[in-house]
């Protein structure tokens, strides 16, 4: 695989030069005052991107999975009840983690390709008169299926049921790429990582805790030390960290938030939407379907594309890597072999995206899928032309 080609996986994303250089720092004493000059702007930048005035942000040398564990272990106790829908690989993994941590998960089985069932949530919450459910889990963007769910609708379900459960949202593949409103949607814990919308290497779990989530720290008895946000909070107050921080990644995060806020979040979201529209136009031109069941569910960061019955979709991904040096995503879990995924988030231009679509076409043609070469590219070109002018300015 050639490092010259962009990647088209749903994270880690392509990285801007300036962010790579910000991460690649010489050693800085993390107990010196210089560290605070990196940490605090990074925390503040994240908070703005989460769109919260009241959340506290914590950053761990970890991954999005560590962010999930931070959320539950700081706020819950063994036996606590959690409500979650399983509609893809990542929601499934979070459920699995809860079970390993001895939580009692009420699972709403949901077809992969569908969004979170806010109506069903409302029924269950309404029925939970004893308020045993402590937390509702919500995967904002199911990276496995390319489905973006409606978090505002989940909040409305909670409100309609008059239920006090907290709302925890996995925004790993949505935050900083698609609209996310922590405060407005009443999100209590928001979770993301460095390697998606922030366009950095993997290595940071990024979480925001609402005041209610912070209050839950006091009663939660699940054991935690590495992921204990109380230690983090204490450290931050002294410009420090409870252990050795990833200074370079934090420096990158500081700059990443500056870049994203400088471009403007709405512009960032529009850019992702434009590129996603190009990909979807190509899929349509190829005569294929997305895994996502309906347009309102289409993700702007990843498209999971169904391949014809009887064809092993993994072959496209393997073929692209072996023959063209290009990385796409395989199908995972229930949709393994049935979909391949094109990631279209982070540091990506229209022009780069076209090379990904052109590669997918060659692969499908090579493997006998009867795709007309150039057809998807042409459809995407039409989308990109009509929104031209934005392309060149972005992602500098």
Picking from 251, 282, 262, the residue whose alpha carbon sits closest to that of residue 344 is 282
Q: Which two tokens stand for residue 238?
A: 């002294």
Strand partners, 147: 142, 298
We find the least distance from the C-beta atom of residue 222 to its own copies, in angstroms, to be 7
Stretch that binds its own copies, among 56-64, 134-142, 253-261, 289-297 (CB under 8 A): 56-64
**Contact predicate 319/325, CB 8 Å:** no
Residue span 292-311 as binding mask against its own copies, x where in contact by CB under 8 A, dash where not: --------------------
Residue span 373-392 as binding mask against its own copies, x where in contact by CB under 8 A, dash where not: xxx-xx--xx-xx--xx-xx
Interface with its own copies (CB under 8 A), residue from 270, 321, 336, 369? 321
| Window 327 to 356, contacts with its own copies (CB under 8 A) | 327, 329-330, 347-352, 354-355
Q: Which two tokens stand for residue 350?
A: 């229209």
Q: What is the DSSP string of 259-303?
A: HHHHH-HHHHHHHHHHHHHHHHHHHHHTT-EESSSSGGGB-SSEE
Interaction between residue 24 and its own copies (CB under 8 A): yes
We find the least distance from the C-beta atom of residue 7 to its own copies, in angstroms, to be 5
Interface with its own copies (CB under 8 A), residue from 92, 192, 246, 299? 246
Residue 24 and residue 39: Cα distance in Å, rounded? Answer: 16
| Window 154 to 213, contacts with its own copies (CB under 8 A) | 193, 195, 201-203
Q: Toward its own copies, which CB reaches closer, 145 or 359? A: 359
Q: Is 247 helix (H, G, I), strand (E, B) or coil?
A: helix
Interaction between residue 324 and its own copies (CB under 8 A): yes
We find the least distance from the C-beta atom of residue 19 to its own copies, in angstroms, to be 11
We find the least distance from the C-beta atom of residue 336 to its own copies, in angstroms, to be 12
Residue 299 and residue 316: Cα distance in Å, rounded? Answer: 21
Residue span 119-158 as binding mask against its own copies, x where in contact by CB under 8 A, dash where not: ----------------------------------------
Residue 269 and residue 299: Cα distance in Å, rounded? Answer: 11
We find the least distance from the C-beta atom of residue 373 to its own copies, in angstroms, to be 4
Nearest 5 degrees, angle CA 50-CA 55-CA 57?
Answer: 75
Query: In sequence order, what are the residues at sequence separation of 6 or more whose Cβ sits closer than 8 angstroms to the Cβ of residue 96?
Result: none
Stretch that binds its own copies, among 9-17, 148-156, 254-262, 288-296 (CB under 8 A): 9-17
Q: Is 362 helix (H, G, I), strand (E, B) or coil?
A: helix
**Contact predicate 135/186, CB 8 Å:** no
Interaction between residue 264 and its own copies (CB under 8 A): no
Residue 246 and residue 6: Cα distance in Å, rounded? Answer: 26
| Window 62 to 101, contacts with its own copies (CB under 8 A) | 62-66, 68-69, 73, 78, 96-97, 100-101
């Amino acid at each position: 695989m050639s490092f010259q080609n962009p990647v088209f996986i749903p994270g880690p994303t392509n990285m801007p030069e300036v962010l790579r250089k910000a991460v690649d720092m010489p050693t800085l004493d993390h107990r010196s005052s210089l560290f605070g000059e990196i940490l605090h702007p990074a925390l503040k930048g994240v908070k703005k991107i989460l769109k919260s005035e009241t959340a506290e942000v914590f950053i761990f040398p970890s991954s999005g999975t560590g962010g999930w564990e931070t959320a539950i272990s700081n706020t819950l106790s063994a036996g606590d009840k959690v409500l979650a829908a399983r509609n893809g690989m990542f929601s499934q993994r979070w459920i699995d983690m809860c079970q390993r941590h001895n939580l009692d998960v009420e699972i709403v089985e949901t077809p992969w390709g569908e969004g979170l069932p806010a109506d069903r949530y409302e029924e269950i919450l309404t029925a939970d008169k004893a308020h045993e459910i402590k937390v509702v889990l919500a995967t904002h963007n199911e990276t496995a299926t390319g489905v973006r769910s409606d978090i505002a609708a989940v909040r409305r379900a909670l409100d309609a049921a008059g239920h006090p459960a907290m709302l925890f949202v996995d925004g790993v593949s949505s935050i900083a790429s698609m609209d996310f409103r922590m405060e407005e949607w009443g999100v209590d814990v928001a979770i993301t990582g460095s390697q998606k919308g922030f366009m950095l290497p993997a290595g940071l779990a990024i979480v925001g805790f609402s005041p209610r989530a912070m209050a839950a720290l006091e009663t939660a008895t699940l054991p935690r030390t590495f992921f204990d946000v109380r230690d983090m909070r204490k450290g931050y107050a002294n410009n420090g960290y409870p252990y050795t921080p990833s200074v370079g990644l934090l420096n990158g995060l500081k700059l990443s938030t500056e870049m994203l806020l400088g471009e403007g979040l709405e512009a960032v979201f529009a850019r992702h939407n434009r590129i996603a529209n190009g990909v979807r136009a190509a899929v349509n031109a190829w005569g294929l379907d997305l895994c996502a069941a309906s347009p309102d569910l289409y993700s702007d960061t990843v498209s999971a594309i169904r391949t014809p019955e009887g064809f092993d979709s993994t072959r496209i991904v393997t073929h692209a890597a072996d023959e063209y040096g290009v990385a796409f995503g395989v199908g995972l879990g229930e949709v393994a072999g049935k979909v391949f995924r094109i990631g279209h988030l982070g540091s990506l231009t229209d022009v780069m995206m076209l090379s990904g679509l052109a590669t997918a076409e060659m692969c499908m043609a090579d493997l006998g899928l009867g795709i007309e070469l150039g057809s998807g590219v042409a459809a995407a070109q039409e989308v990109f032309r009509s929104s031209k002018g934005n392309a060149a300015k972005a992602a500098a």
